[in-house]
Structure 1
Amino acid sequence: MDTEIELKFLVSEHVISQLPALITQFSKKVSNKASRNLQNAYFDTPSRELRALDIGLRTRCVDGECEQTVKLAGKVVGGFHQRPEYNMPISSSRPNIALFDSTIWPAGIEPNAISSNLFSIFNTNFIRRTWLLETESGTEIELVLDKGDISVSGQSVPICEVEMELISGDRSELFELANKLISCSEVRLGLYSKAARGYRLADDMPLVADAFLGYVQLDETATQERALEKCLQYGIEFVQKHEQCYIDAPKLKTLKRIVDGVSLIRHSFWLFEQVADKQVTKSLRKELKWLLETFSWVETAIQLRMFTSKKHAFHKRISAAPELEQVIDKLKSEQPSRESLLAIFHSSRYNQLILDLTRFLIEKRWRESWDQEQVVAASKPVKEIAAKLFENDWQEMQHLLPHDVVSAESYIAKRQKLHRNLLSGCCLGQLFEGALRDEFRGPWLDIIHGMDELATYDYLKQLCESQQEPDRFKSILLWLGQKNDGLLAAMEHSRLASQKLEPYWQ
């Protein structure tokens, strides 16, 4: 068995031309391997039994020799892939998984039954160029460039990837080489394997953005340190998934999911300050703040798009007010173009942040400055801390939103605080009973959506009042005021409903 420790990158043609110089500058010694044309077939059962267990099975034939490879479920963080791999020569391009040692399979797998039911799902065909790099310290890294396509039933998607695998030596040098590649721009860390992309193509199931930020999967025995790891891993994957969703099909709501994921990562650093000292996370938090500021326009853009949609109740009213329609159209025209957003996702700064977060997590870099107090805090059960945190947040919200009618200004001012409390629930809510948790959080999610809409009303109001002839906007301002009051009434209903629910952590 081999365990891959590698980083995957999606690159452009422009980057390919820069690879030889990058390799030469980084390495003390470089060995080139002959290019190979690799033809691969991936197999599974009609019910996708292997895919359900995150197992990849492929055959590869080169120069008349074939082998079968099985990759078991492993660890994927950012572009860092680590998973057990088993290879075995076979006499044809048809796999025979019964030849593998029976102990490698997860419980419940019946290799003989599966083997008789296998068929080819999709193919990957690409030219592979390989370099073996040796550094001054003796670390050996294999760098691979794959260029070709994934194909099934006449459809295909391109492959243009660089993979770096640590053969021996210091893992930090693998990340140093990755830093140099990222500096080329037009590079993205690759979250999804060729197999994952192939399955989506074969099953006609494109990557779909989530409707909301979910819960980090934690069990009741998790320590604070384990919770930090799981939160960071969830957040990084959430951001990368929606980055790919946006590239596949650009939508404003997909950008909002990226903002949610970045917010969760940043919140995790605050939540677990006892484990990861603020000084250790300072540079990461600074870059996360930059990314949030880069996308700070997204929520307002979503609201403006919603108001002007023909499906929305406001469309007719706005269409009948050309002055307001002009203001909104101007705002929409000032939003970043799709090209400029794609440039962010391919930029050195963005990908350096994702790589740095990945390295921080993989190498547990928060441990570098630990004192005894932090060692003790890291081993504490996180569920005890979660209950106290939620209770404090709940008491604070009771104080911030007391038992009387709350104004729009008051709601908007408290938006960030409520959002932070809800992020704590995303990080730690899985530790508590699901139905009670979701029922309790429901009204507060409605309230924060209302806060976003109130903020947009306020924004439009200020825009109307700042125009050269504000009298032309009197009727619009009156209408905005009515909508504001109606929304406040609905939010008040949600707030009062929340007071009657039993806190799920008690």
Structure 2
Amino acid sequence: MGRVRPKAPRRKGPRCDQNTASWIAAIAQQEYLGSMKEIELKFLLTEEQADALDALLPTLQGLHARPETRQLRSAYHDTESGALRGAGIALRLRHDGLGCVQTAKGAISHHGGIQTTLESETPRPDGALDVAAIPHDGLREQVQALTAGAPLAARVETEMRRHSATVSLPGGGAAEIAVDRGTLRGGGRSAPLTELEIELKGGTVPAVYDLARQILPEGGLRLSRRSKAARAFALADGHDAVDRPALRKANPVPLQAHQTAESAARDVLRECFDQIARNADFVQVSDAPEGPHQLRIGLRRLRAAFDVFGVVLDGPACAHLKAEARWLAHEAGAVRDLDVTVQDLLAPEATAHPMEPGFQRLAAHLTARADAQRLSLRGALTGARAQAFLLDLARFTEARGWLDLADFGQSAQLAQPLSAIATAALDRHWKRAAKRARGIDHLDIEARHDLRKALKGLRYAVEFLAPVLPAGATKTFTKRLRTLQDLFGELNDLAMAQEMLTGADAPGGDDPQAQRAVGWILGSRSVRAEADWAGARKLWHALRDAPRPWDTPG
């Protein structure tokens, strides 16, 4: 008896009732609605950027009043054991020269650069802390329970010069733009901080991203992912207030079968954005080959996510983001290809032939080109185009830019559970790979490359949807798929090296000793490639005949 699959949803036709229409109209903003929520988009600034913004503020359209400058002194209180900090709560007294305000902040969420915090504040004319005065019942009760009568004292401090202005937003609402320069103090240590905060005072989330693009259109922005309090507490713990960017590998997304396809798409896009944005920062400060590699993986995973959730996300905005992701992946790929050639192809042969001087000469040519390409990638990442792509991707994800409130057919589609689209999405990727593998014994280099890309897309799709698939079957299938993909990767590396090292613009093309080293590399890898290709064909046949996890009962 054949397996029963959920039918793929149709994109057209009025297929939802009024309740579903109301649901779709609410989800775009539901995470940001509610009283006493602080919504900010924050960036770390250079002094030059801060100076430019200071000069820009008086010229902005829609100003509510002339920009003002204030000195803000904030002390963050906690128990000696750090009970509030451990629960993600900040309790602050802030003096601004005009008075004192007590603020309690709940746990912070960070998505797409947006920091969302439950905030409850009250004036304290006497400058004294009073937990009982916290207006928000839930926060007040939580703070009281966590402190349980234990003494509260100032543990860290910040002192900022804030130059700020409030502007009206198109379509209604307002935002405060604040340039903060100052000092963080904690544990007897101090550190400078220069930061831009764009706080939504009313209106919708997309306007915050649009404002960021408007005020610094030339690029160069770096997301600020931690609060000032968190940075000061890091100082107190002996760490850096502004940590050095770190490599970011892919993380699994904890999807659930019953969650909507729409919310699953958002969760996957958030993961892709974070991997891309963090590796973009890492590439700026590190020459490690893994940086461009993980950046390219993030961009490829993003394109795979657009494909997996195409039934949800397709539209002009999605098409634009796909194209920009492809462009940036090409920029990162140029660096990655040079790194692979030096480290994975040249280095082993140089070790095997220590008396051959051409390897050192070829390495010098390739390294010089890789360094130049890395500088080019860094320029692209700090440029206006890459910044616009990242802001557009974050805007698309956090404001759910795929929604069409007038399309009732889409509404019904997005409201269905993830499990209802998973099988169709995985079948689509599998058929694409199987089509590319036809006549696998006779595929040329280009066809092998197309098959490799299809297998990569299939793997990303399985990894995204793994939480809704049978665990055992998925693990076995993914392992086989990864092994096959690695073999195809090595074959692709040889094809890439042949093109790079023998073309008209080949590094060291006019250096006979370097070209002798090229001959060693290509000759050795070609022999290995024959064995790899035989293994790849065998692995493909095994994968084709193996049970597929989306066909396996859970």
Task: Give TM-score, length-normalised by structure 2.
Answer: 0.76
Which among 335, 338, 343 is matched to residue 379 of structure 2?
A: 343
Cα drift, residue 422 of structure 1: 1.4
Q: Deviations over 1:187-244 (max 9, x none)?
A: 2343443344445553648567467422222112112211221122221122222233
Which residue in the other structure is 2:310 paired with?
273
Are 2:528 and 1:483 aligned?
Answer: yes
Matched, 1:372 2:408: yes
Matched, 1:425 2:459: no
Give SS of 2:272's match: helix
How far is the alpha carbon of 1:165 from its aligned partner? 1.5
Going from structure 1 to structure 2, the CA distance change for 1:136 and 1:81 (only over 3 Å counts) comes to closer
Q: Quick one: structure 1 residues 326 and 83, their matched pair in 2 at CA, closer, same or farther if it must change by over 3 Å?
A: same
Q: How much does 1:424 deviate?
A: 1.0
Structure 1, 234-243 or 272-281: larger mean CA deviation: 272-281
Measure the CA separation in 1 of the matches of 2:485 and 2:167.
Answer: 52
Which deviates more from structure 2 when the two are superposed, residues 215-224 or residues 94-103?
Answer: 94-103
TM-fit CA distance, 1:253: 1.0
1:443–1:173: structure 2 CA closer, same or farther, 3 Å change rule? closer
Hey, what does 1:316 align to over in structure 2? 351
Residue 258 of structure 1 pairs with residue 295 of structure 2: yes
Pairing 1:38–2:65 present:
no
Which residue is equivalent to 2:548? 503
SS in 1 for 2:262: helix
Q: Which moved more, 1:330-339 or 1:149-158?
A: 149-158
Displacement, 1:147? Answer: 0.9
> In 2, are the aligned partners of 1:182 and 1:351 still within 8 Å (CA)?
no
Query: Structure 1 residues 458, 365: closer, same or farther in 2, change over 3 A?
Result: closer
8 Å contact 2:67–2:165 — kept in the other structure? yes
SS of the residue aligned with 1:148?
A: strand
Q: CA deviation at 1:276?
A: 2.5
Task: Say which SS state the counterpart of residue 297 (structure 1) adopts.
Answer: helix
1:78 touches 1:190 (CA, 8 Å); kept in 2? no
User: 1: distance between equivalents of 2:195 and 2:205?
Assistant: 20
2:264 to 208, 217, 227: 227
Deviations 1:249-277 (A, max 9, x none): 44221222222222222222222222223
SS at match of 1:414: helix
Q: Which residue of 2 aligns with 1:237?
A: 274
Q: Are the counterparts in 2 of residues 11 and 187 from structure 1 also a CA contact under 8 Å?
A: yes
1:218 and 1:428 in contact (8 A); partners too: yes
Structure 1 Cα separation of the partners of residues 482 and 140 of structure 2:
39
Instruction: Give the CA deviation at 1:78.
Output: 2.2
> Per the alignment, do residues 62 and 391 of structure 1 end up closer, same or farther by CA in structure 2, a change over 3 Å counting?
same
Deviations 1:147-168 (CA, angstroms, capped at 9, x unpaired): 1244445655542111112223
2:481 to 434, 444, 448: 444
What secondary structure does 1:141 align onto?
A: strand
From 207, 210, 217, the equivalent of 1:183 is 217
Aligned pairs for 1:35-434 within 5 A:
35-41=70-76, 43=78, 53-62=87-96, 67-88=101-122, 100=134, 103-104=137-138, 111-113=145-147, 116=150, 122-134=156-168, 139-153=173-187, 157-169=191-203, 173-198=207-232, 202=237, 204=239, 209=246, 212-307=249-344, 313-317=348-352, 319-335=354-370, 336=372, 339-368=375-404, 371-394=407-430, 397=433, 400-401=436-437, 409=445, 411-434=448-471
CA distance in 2, matches of 1:99, 1:436: 56
CA distance in 2, matches of 1:211, 1:24: 38
Matched residue type, 1:222 = Q
Matched AA of 1:326? R
CA shift in 2, pair 1:102/1:318, >3 Å: farther
Task: Compare 37-46 and 141-150 and name the one that shifted more.
Answer: 37-46
Deviations 1:339-378 (A, max 9, x none): 5444333322212112222222233222237633322221
Query: In 2, Cα distance between the equivalents of 1:166 and 1:159?
Result: 22
8 Å contact kept, 2:75–2:157: yes
- Mapped to 2, the partners of 1:114 and 1:255 lie a distance apart of 49
TM-score between both structures, scaled by the size of structure 1: 0.82
Show the counterpart of 1:8.
Answer: 42
2:32 is matched with which residue? Answer: none
1:85 offset after TM fit, Å? 1.2
In the TM superposition, what is the alpha-carbon distance from 1:145 to its structure 2 partner?
A: 0.9
- Per the alignment, in what secondary structure is the counterpart of residue 36 of structure 1? strand
Q: Report SS of the residue matched to 1:183.
A: coil
Name the SS for the 2:528 alignment partner. helix
Task: Name the residue aligned to 2:17.
Answer: none
Coordinate RMSD, CA, aligned: 4.0
Query: How far off is 1:115 after superposition?
Result: 6.7
**Secondary structure at 2:549's aligned position in 1?**
coil
Q: Alpha-carbon deviation of 1:398? A: 5.4
Whether contact under 8 Å (2:349, 2:520) holds in the other structure is no
The one-letter amino acid paired with 1:504 is P
Alignment-mate amino acid for residue 68 of structure 2: K
State the secondary structure of the residue aligned to 2:482.
Answer: helix
Residues 114 and 341 of structure 1: is their aligned pair in 2 closer, same or farther, counting only changes over 3 Å? farther
Deviation per CA, 1:114-147: give whole Å up to 9, x if none: 7738777654332222223346877432111111
C-alpha spacing 1:41/1:109, structure 2 compared with 1 (3 Å): closer
- Structure 1 residues 242 and 90, CA, compared in 2 at 3 Å: closer, same or farther? farther
- 1:21 corresponds, among 52, 56, 75, to 56
Structure 2 gaps, min length 5 = 1-34, 504-508
Confirm or deny: 8 A CA contact 1:139 1:170 kept in the other structure: yes
SS at match of 1:26: coil
| Residues in 1 aligned to 2:433 and 2:373: alpha-carbon distance in whole angstroms | 38
Match of 1:296, SS state, is helix
Q: Rate the CA distance shift 1:392–1:25 in 2: closer, same or farther, 3 A.
A: closer
Q: Aligned AA for 1:296?
A: G
